[in-house]
Chain A
């Protein structure tokens, strides 16, 4: 059974600082996703990572994937208040010929002025 672990679960940081969120998963998978969720809202897709060594960047967020280590990171550069949200990683698992996503518990990020 695929297990996905994120850490930290809670992250409070100051504006302008850098930090990294980690996502480990237990079995081989071809795809890893990062989503953002604001309180009371749905999930917004941030990144899809497909292969070992993949790196994607959007604004102050950069995601990477190491399939050998079964590890993905979401790096935040020079954080701003607008990045405050919960960030989920999700790993694709094949079941019965259909793909399902298994989510980590999420990292609640609070960026303080």
Chain B
């Protein structure tokens, strides 16, 4: 299995809703990432988990709450979002903190969840 899966593909939610995005990989990767991508912009890193521990939080508002229940799963819990949070949310994974040759830290991206906040 050489892919990262994300569910749902599309999500529409109101500002008072609570929802979760899910990301899964079975490549044995120990680093997982959440990115946010607005239209016509590059991806922006939100969070990094390394060995199931949060290692980078890019000053993301608390209405986004990441969770890494095990080495294969990464969730992003959403609560009280704003319309400006509408974006494509991308999950990625990579091998982490390993020495070696090419590609070992390459990030594999999932298909993304298109989120619309009304």
Q: How far is the CA of A8 from the CA of B107 in the complex (A)?
A: 25
The distance from the CB of A46 to the nearest CB of chain B, in whole angstroms, is 11
Which residues on the A side are within 8 Å of B50 (C-beta)?
97-98
Measured between beta carbons, the chain B residues less than 8 angstroms from A96 are: 55-56
Task: Give the complex CA separation of A44 and B47 in angstroms.
Answer: 20
Which residues of A, 14-68, contact B by the 8 Å Cβ criterion?
Answer: 31, 33, 35, 40-45, 48, 50
Contact yes or no, B55 A31, CB < 8 A: no
Residues of A within 8 A of B109 (CB): 35, 42-45
For chain A, which range describes its interface: under 10, 10 to 19, 20 to 34, or 35 or more residues? 20 to 34
Cβ B41 vs Cβ A101 within 8 A: no
Hey, which chain B residues are within 8 Å of A45, CB to CB?
A: 106-109
Task: Kindly supply a per-residue 1/0 record for chain B positions 62-78, scoring 1 wherever the CB is within 8 Å of any chain A CB and 0 otherwise.
Answer: 00000000000000000
User: Does any Cβ of B come within 8 Å of A99's Cβ?
Assistant: yes
- Asked whether A106 lies within 8 Å of B42 as measured between CB atoms, the reply is yes
> In the assembly, what is the distance between CA of A61 and CA of B91, in Å?
26
A105 to B39 alpha-carbon distance, docked (Å): 12
* Interchain Cβ contacts under 8 Å between A and B, 30 examples: A31-B105, A33-B107, A41-B111, A42-B110, A42-B112, A43-B90, A44-B109, A45-B106, A45-B109, A48-B103, A48-B106, A50-B102, A88-B43, A92-B105, A95-B56, A96-B55, A97-B55, A97-B97, A98-B50, A98-B96, A99-B31, A99-B94, A100-B33, A100-B48, A101-B43, A101-B45, A101-B107, A103-B42, A103-B43, A105-B41
A interface residue numbers (CB < 8 A to B)? 31, 33, 35, 40-45, 48, 50, 88, 92, 95-106
Q: Taking beta carbons and an 8 Å cutoff, which residues of B are in contact with A?
A: 31, 33, 41-45, 48, 50, 55-56, 90, 92, 94, 96-97, 101-103, 105-112, 114
Q: Which 10 residue pairs are nearest across A and B when measured between Cβ atoms?
A: A103-B42, A98-B55, A43-B109, A42-B111, A42-B109, A42-B112, A98-B48, A98-B50, A48-B103, A48-B106
